[in-house]
Chains A and B, each alone.
Chain A
Amino acid sequence: MTTTKNVNRRQILKASAALGAVSMGGLAAPTILRAQEPPKPNEIIIRAWGGPWVAALEAGVSNPFTERTGIRVIHDLTEDNEIQPRVWAAVAQGRTPPIHINWDTTVNATKSALRGVCEDLSDLPNIAGTLDLAKPVGVEGYPIVNTYGYVYVLAYRPEAFPDGPPTSYHDLLDPRFRGRIAFYNDGIGFHFPAQIAGGGTLEGIPDNMGPCWEFVERIKEQEPLLGEDPDFVNWFQNGEIDAACTISTNALGARRNGIDVAWTVPEEGAKFDTDGLWIPRGHSEGDLYWSREYINFALTPEAQQVWLDGLGLPGVVPGLTPPEGLAGDPSYPTEPEDFERLIRISGQIQVEHESEWFSRFKQIMQG
């Protein structure tokens, strides 16, 4: 990594702002402005999710960024939850963090922001061209920039539902699906629909979630499989499951691998959430500058278009073209009416209570 010694932080940020203002479309800055750039590091490290996730990031953001800057981008596929304590420890001990940029769930990233380990990104020029979705809720400014939204759909194998797609999570209680359904191992994405399926209301979150846990108890009787993103693709691929509550990208990944998988938003609704990018504190000025440039570039329409085509998800800049077959799809909400069946719970409530929801879900499933 390169260390920049004679440029102070403000100068760099101003230069960055000027650079971005001139070149909203990316990194094509005039030579006179390039002269103010701090030395480039040889590489920057981005934590990412594997499989179709990292492939999309590479195609849409990392490779073009490398082409334009000459900076190699390394993708660290450590799980977001696993990198978090390492980053927190590095910042607390004044060490250089193990990654330059964390591609993280907004809820998880907000925990880091509340802990004060995120660099402020408020003055990134391309934020001006983003939708409200890019702004994290419950924190000051932009310690995180949300980069797209996603839906925890009910994915299913059409072959297992000959009478038509499942319309409700209650359909999964059919005995023929015993051992043939899957959820995230902490229940993420399922807590809120389960609250409705159990007869509760969204207003009952977080103080009255009894209906949610009662429905999770009923689902447990079906002996579901519990896993992470790559597991869902594998399980669909290997014929282990017939239905799963998962992010639409995983179902899309399985479909792109030739597996007959479809998805729907059931009558209980589906959780809508966002992911974002953030930079941990503790990097040299030069590394920080180019990490900011990476995020700034990720917010350009051209980067978003390719990246999110790969993920099959709606971005945070207006005017993107939906990938083939996803226009109007419930997993690709863009219009206000598209969000009517989706469940959005305040980020602050999720940050404060997510851990206890995870624990409760695991307790039920492990009991």
Chain B
Amino acid sequence: MDALEGVFAVAWPKGGGKLTPYLLLVPAISVVGLLVIGLVYIGDSSLRTLDRTTFLFSENYSLENYRRALSEGFTYTIIWRSLFGAFVVTIITLILAFPYAYMMVRTRSALVRKALLIALFLPFFIGQVVRAYGWLIILGNQGIINDALGLIGIEPLRLLFNYPAVIFGLVQYMLPFAVLMLAPALTAIPEEMEAAAGSLGADWFQTLLHVVLPMAKPGLIGSGIVVLTLTLTDFAMPAILGGGTQDFIANAIYDQFFRTSDQGFGSALTIILVATGSLVVGIALATFGAGTLALGKSENEVR
């Protein structure tokens, strides 16, 4: 042990103490750096057009792929569908996640807390694709729901392969993320605040509206941004539960890369997706602040 400490002392002298926080950032910066390099390559590809006689890309740069993307109504359709889906999923997910997280944080019963935690983490062990296929089994024409409806004489309903099915699948997928982001924010609200509100005559709804929700705002914003961005870029749920007719932007990008061999156009759509996502998140941050994503105290709080 002493020898180990000796080696460590040589490799990591005390003088390096001030550098430690920065050195600990190196892995994260490396990962982000790799993503940036990838994005630069994609940006480069987006400026090259495909020659369909040789299936090679042009040596010259041009904005043709962007012109094409922005002149096709299809692009706007999928961007609108993705954005609208992301907003709807975010709102529904937060509405469902809040009571779940609140219950998990505030319950006096260890058993209930454990049950809620298990129910929260279980879906993480099952991949998104498997979960989507699970919904195919449950919601299919011969699935459990339609079987149950059949028992009371209702003809099978088409519950799959439409926009609501995609939204449903995404909400189910995003819920654990939202709960996990919300729980720390709710834990940080002292229970005494709620008790104080009650002692001053507020009923539970007034307490929720005027005390808990405002104080949970950083958690709601943080989880909202995470759910929004994950939904905006999702691929599997629209592909599997949408029946091929409810594509999001990621599905259109996939098609260009892997179906039509046009990586240039796919790259242009990728850049548009990144720009759209960044713009939406930027607007959210400017409007609501960074919430729990900001981590440290704000300047006002410091003062």
Residues of A within 8 A of B (CB): 79, 81-82, 84-85, 88, 111-112, 114-116, 179, 185-186, 223-227, 238-240, 351-352, 354-355, 358-359, 362-363, 365-367
Contacts and interface: CB of A to CB of B under 8 A. Distances in A.
A359 B260 contact: yes
B298 to A, nearest CB: 43
Contacts of B56: 115
A82 B247 contact: no
Contacts of A114: 53-55
Contacts of A239: 141-142
A88 to B, nearest CB: 8
Contact of A115 (B55, B244, B246): B55
Contacts of B77: 366-367
A82 B258 contact: yes
B73 A362 contact: no
A38 B258 CA distance: 35
A238 B158 CA distance: 13
B141 A238 contact: yes
A84 to B, nearest CB: 6
Nearest to B262: A355
Contact of A225 (B161, B258, B262): B161
Interface in B141-165: 141-142, 158, 160-161
B74 A115 contact: no
B53 A352 contact: yes
B142 A227 contact: no
A226 B258 contact: no
Contacts of A351: 52
B261 A85 contact: yes
A355 B53 CA distance: 12
A116 B263 CA distance: 18
Contacts of A81: 258-259, 261
B244 A185 contact: yes
A227 B54 contact: no
B247 A366 contact: yes
A352 B53 CA distance: 7
Given A186-B259, A358-B255, A363-B73, A352 B141 contact: no
Contact of B261 (A111, A238, A362, A366): A111
B78 interface: yes
A85 B161 CA distance: 29
A34 to B, nearest CB: 39
A355 B243 contact: no
Nearest to B255: A362
* Interface SS, B side: loop
Interface string B64-101: 00000000111001100000000000000000000000
B245 interface: yes
B243 A226 contact: yes
18 contacts: A85-B261, A111-B261, A114-B53, A114-B54, A179-B158, A224-B245, A225-B161, A225-B244, A226-B245, A238-B140, A239-B141, A240-B141, A355-B52, A358-B255, A363-B73, A366-B78, A366-B245, A367-B74
Given A111-B55, A179-B158, A226-B245, 5 more contacts: A84-B258, A114-B55, A238-B142, A362-B255, A366-B245
Contacts of A116: 54
A227 B243 contact: yes
Contact of A355 (B54, B161, B261): B261
Nearest to A86: B258
A352 B260 contact: no
A277 B160 CA distance: 37
Contacts of B102: none
Interface string B237-273: 0000001111100001001011111110000000000
Give the one of A88, A111, A240 with max B CB within 10 A.
Answer: A240
Given A111-B55, A115-B54, A358 B260 contact: yes
Nearest to A178: B158
Contacts of B72: 363
Contacts of B244: 185, 225-227, 365
A225 B136 CA distance: 14
A331 to B, nearest CB: 24
Contacts of A79: 258
A84 B261 contact: yes
Contacts of A115: 54-56
Contacts of A354: 260
Contacts of A366: 74, 77-78, 245-247, 252
Nearest to A108: B261
B180 to A, nearest CB: 32
A79 B141 CA distance: 27
Contacts of A362: 74, 247, 252, 255
Interface in B17-67: 52-56
B243 A367 contact: no
Contact of B74 (A85, A186, A352, A363): A363
A140 to B, nearest CB: 14
A352 B52 CA distance: 6
